[in-house]
């Protein structure tokens, strides 16, 4: 029996602990519509956004903590801090035998939280996940926050720049680009549900 405030107690989350890759593929397939050319809409950029009924300062505090990624992302787990400048390594379970290196770069005044990541090596963190938290009072005239999450299609998504460091016979992260919108939509919903659940129940925001 999980504790009331543990992420496993929150209904509706899709994480690899409770949603296998086949089921996750079906969910993303339902979100990814076939009625338009995907590249025409999300060719070089992948923006998603959502309203979260939680104060901006709490959203920022949670997102700026590196360990929160192990709760709301679908596949990032088992973090180990490598250096005092904030470099971590973990496992990305969406890829087989895949290490993911990352740093969290945040600005409390600007309410920005950016995740700089890369598969297989930590010297060139070229996978950049940009997040801006906006007070919903300003843009929607109601309490809470709006989170804007932006990805850009770096050239390395098209070709692995460090093939010598990658496990053999493993798909490259860029092969999943067409599913970034769907996959990240699921993850943003995870983030929303965790934050709203803990805020509405006056629980510590975590991560646990």
Instruction: Classify residue 7: in a domain, yes or no.
Output: no
Instruction: Classify residue 181: in a domain, yes or no.
Output: yes
Pairing assessment for the beta strands 76-81 and 112-119 based on DSSP bridges = unpaired
Instruction: Classify residue 174: in a domain, yes or no.
Output: yes
Lowest mean per-residue pLDDT among 87-91, 154-158, 204-208: 204-208
Instruction: Classify residue 3: in a domain, yes or no.
Output: no
pLDDT of residue 187: 98
Average pLDDT along the chain? 93
- Does the structure show a pLDDT above 80 at 41? no
> What percentage of residues in the chain have a pLDDT greater than 90?
85
CATH number of the domain that residue 168 is part of: 3.30.530.20
Lowest mean per-residue pLDDT among 34-43, 46-55, 130-139, 187-196: 34-43
For residue range 72-103, list pLDDT tens digits in order. Answer: 999 999 999 999 999 999 999 998 889 999 99
Residue 97 CA, distance from chain mean position: 19
- Does the structure show a pLDDT above 90 at 137? yes
Residue showing tokens 């969910």: 27
Domain, as residue range, for 58: 12-200
* Gap between the Cα atoms of 106 and 99, Å rounded: 23
Contacts of 92 by beta carbon, 8 Å cutoff, 6+ apart: 75, 76, 98, 99, 100, 119
Please give the tally of structural domains in the chain: 1
Instruction: Classify residue 6: in a domain, yes or no.
Output: no
């Amino acid at each position: 029996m999980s504790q009331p405030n543990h992420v496993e107690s929150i209904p509706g989350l899709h994480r690899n602990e409770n949603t296998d890759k086949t089921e996750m593929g079906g969910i993303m397939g339902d979100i990814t519509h076939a009625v338009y050319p995907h590249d025409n809409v999300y060719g070089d950029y992948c923006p998603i956004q959502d309203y979260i009924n939680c104060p901006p300062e709490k959203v920022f505090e949670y997102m700026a903590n590196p360990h929160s990624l192990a709760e709301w992302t679908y596949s990032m787990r088992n973090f180990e801090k490598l250096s005092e400048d904030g470099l971590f390594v973990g496992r990305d379970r969406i890829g087989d035998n895949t290490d993911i290196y990352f740093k969290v770069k945040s600005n409390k005044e600007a309410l920005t939280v950016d995740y700089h990541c890369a598969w297989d090596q930590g010297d060139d963190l070229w996978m950049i996940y940009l997040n801006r938290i906006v007070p919903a009072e300003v843009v929607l005239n109601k309490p809470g926050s709006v989170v804007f999450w932006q990805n850009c299609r770096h050239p390395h998504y098209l070709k692995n720049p460090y093939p010598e460091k990658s496990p053999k016979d493993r798909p490259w992260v860029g092969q999943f680009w067409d599913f970034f919108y769907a996959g990240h939509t699921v993850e943003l919903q995870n983030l929303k549900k965790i934050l709203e659940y803990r805020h509405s129940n006056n629980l510590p925001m975590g991560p646990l």
